[in-house]
Amino acid sequence: MPSDWTLPRCSTAYTYRGIDAALLENGSLRVMVLPGKGGDVLEFRDKRADVDVLFHTDHDWQPPPDRPVPATDATAWHDTYPGGWQVNLPLAGYTDGFAGTPYGLHGETALLDWDAWVARDDDEAVSLRLSTDLVRYPFSVERTLTLPAEGPTLSVEESVTNDGEVELEYVWQQHVALGRPLVGPGARLDVPARRGVVQAYADDHENERLAGGERFDWPDAPGLDGTVDLRTFPPLDAEIHDVAYATDLDEGWYAVTNPEIDLGFGFTFPTDPFECVWYWQPFGGDVDSPYFGRNYNVGLEPTTAYPSADIPDAQRANGTIDTIAPGETVEASFTATTYHGIDAVANVDPDGAVTAR
């Protein structure tokens, strides 16, 4: 190890698959960020277990073109989707028209280059700052990721500014996808939700085990063959593809714990404006492009509105869509952490401290 290689550290002097990359690292975590592709977090590795908790896609995803423009179908987002953790703005989900803009899937922030620089580098912590301006929407976005000298918790400060002259609707999402070996039949999901909603499925949807469009008391979702406890995960040979929304949150956090590998992942967020968690469940049953049944993972995605389709009409109808006034900035803080020695979680504090159930 070089004599000048010390922890914590943060550097933007990397590339990954030809994309500008940055690393933040201390004795507990290594985090890789792709400023050249959406500011995505593509590695969140617990160093004690030597496990990256994030999901990674099987298809040969490609870097976005030099000036990516969102397409009116899902191809632009999916073709460049590596898994991991994205910020989605000015919307999340599918739409063929939003404020006169022909977005397809998940807006545009994950398709853009972000400027990145080391904002802090000392013995107590390191920080990476990222910023971008949207192409089709007058939003500017900033993120600051901070890793302390010690401990397995990454803190994120994020802001969105309306640079336009009119009030604008938006859906803001932290698109966090977790994969094997953290996610599996021996793991458990904890979310402090009181209610849930199953996605209203289209006629061509395949492999659902949940009853589409139904509301329920979390975590006991109505299934096609009886009640499904959403705290548990199905066998690895399952062929299931569902989407549900955890709503009526008592607090803003969730945790996935796998005692079989003695590892858990916790995420915190403010319930104002992130009032729900989208729960994407492709357990070997997402047969559409680009997955074709190959992936066993979850998406646990704090979001400011739901559902993921009929944007913005459905979100207007249920009162979840938010607006930003001209010149207004909205801010939010998040933490992502790993932990050991716990079988189930009672609470994750905004500072990332995890309490066992």
pLDDT in tens, 72-102: 665 778 889 999 999 999 999 988 778 887 7
Find all residues with CB under 8 Å of 84, minimum gap 6, and list them: 40, 41, 42, 43, 44, 54, 55, 56, 177
Average pLDDT of the residues of the chain: 94
Residue-wise pLDDT tens digits, 298-334 = 999 999 999 999 999 999 999 999 999 999 999 999 9
* Cβ-contact 157, 36 below 8 angstroms: no
Q: Quick one: average pLDDT of 186-201? A: 97
Give yes or no for a cis peptide into 273 (omega within 30° of 0).
yes
How is residue 290 annotated by DSSP? T
CA-CA distances (angstroms) from residue 328 to 115, 163, 171, 325? 22, 8, 15, 5
Residue 346: pLDDT above 80?
Answer: yes
Domain definitions of the chain by residue range = 9-356
CA nearest neighbour of 249 among 131, 142, 347, 344 = 347
Separation of alpha carbons 127 and 47, rounded Å: 19
Residue 203: pLDDT above 70?
Answer: yes
Q: Quick one: average pLDDT of 251-272? A: 98
Residue-wise pLDDT tens digits, 157-176 = 999 999 999 999 999 999 99
Separation of alpha carbons 257 and 56, rounded Å: 19
Instruction: Read off the pTM.
Output: 0.96
Provide, for the chain, the percentages of residues in helix, strand and coil under a 3-state DSSP scheme, each rounded to the nearest 5.
5, 45, 50
Burial profile 253-291: b = 16 or more Cβ within 10 angstroms, e = fewer = bbbbbbeebebbbbbbbeeebbbbbbbbbbbbbbeeebb
Q: What is the pLDDT of residue 70?
A: 62
Q: Could you tell me the fold of the domain covering 9-356? A: Beta-galactosidase; Chain A, domain 5 (2.70.98)
Find all residues with CB under 8 Å of 230, minimum gap 6, and list them: 189, 196, 218, 219, 220, 221, 244, 279
Lowest mean pLDDT among 4-18, 24-38, 91-105, 196-210: 91-105
Q: What is the pLDDT of residue 48?
A: 97
SS3 46: strand
* Cβ-contact 41, 32 below 8 angstroms: yes
* Cβ-contact 189, 265 below 8 angstroms: no
Q: Which helix (H) or strand (E) holds 316?
A: helix 313-318
